[in-house]
A and B are shown apart, each in its own frame.
Chain A
């Protein structure tokens, strides 16, 4: 599995398409039988407490795309704080077992684990 991360608007989707994936292979904010999961953070924010249960299903994907959500000011609501933490912790576990981790900054992909 390839983990693609980066801030909102950093060019993650364009990067995934440049790898040869088409729109209908990319599932936006949901887990189905598509090869690519995009906007993983939306799935986690929907039910943060169950985020750890997603791990194995995500590892079976070809590409997982997630926003980096932890680098702003700490949110005021506990739910948002927990969701942000859960997203980060899930990404740490995904990164540990991913074949490759790519981080997008200004549209530039940097391989941070190979």
Chain B
């Protein structure tokens, strides 16, 4: 089963995704994509690590190239999150930019083959005035397209609003 969880910043996606994953079959793998580039991201990473520490997750930190991860057994994989993954794949440190839409979909397709349940956390970044430079505009547009492509082929899509899951497609497992 493949589940896409979306929502704005601070809407409770991570907490909900982890609760969901805990109720699904082990082994459970947390696939972390956040690049620890400053104090603020380290604080966020530590908060997420603390939330997971008692839940028996194996954590794999991978900023790019999710298609070639070797998993020892099928189980539940929680990928967090698309917005970091896209930024990591799309922009390099020298300021270069690549078209990574097909690559990311291919990598996630391989992930889908490697586990029984895949939960992907993504983000809503398109609901503001949208007056950005071309590069940021391409990022917003690409994330929107990736979200649409995943939503189309995944079994379940839910939006988190104030910690409340609103199911947009399919059904969440175990009565959530």
Contact = CB atoms under 8 A, between A and B. Distances in A.
Interface of A: 3, 5, 7, 68-74, 78, 81, 84-89, 91-92, 94-96, 101, 103, 112-113
A101 B139 CA distance: 32
Interface in B1-21: 7-12
Contacts of B109: none
A70 B132 contact: no
A92 B163 contact: yes
Given A81-B40, A84-B10, A85-B9, A73 B125 contact: yes
B162 interface: yes
Interface of B: 7-12, 40, 83, 124-129, 132, 136, 139-140, 161-164, 166
Nearest to B125: A73
A78 B43 CA distance: 13
Contact of A71 (B8, B12, B40, B164): B8
Contacts of B12: 88, 92
13 contacts: A70-B9, A71-B126, A71-B127, A71-B128, A72-B127, A72-B129, A73-B125, A73-B128, A88-B8, A88-B162, A91-B11, A95-B162, A101-B162
B8 A74 contact: no
Contacts of B11: 70, 88, 91-92
B10 A89 contact: yes
A74 to B, nearest CB: 7
Contacts of A103: 161
B163 A112 contact: no
Contacts of B162: 3, 5, 88, 91-92, 94-95, 101, 112
A65 to B, nearest CB: 13
Contacts of B9: 70-71, 74, 81, 84-85, 88
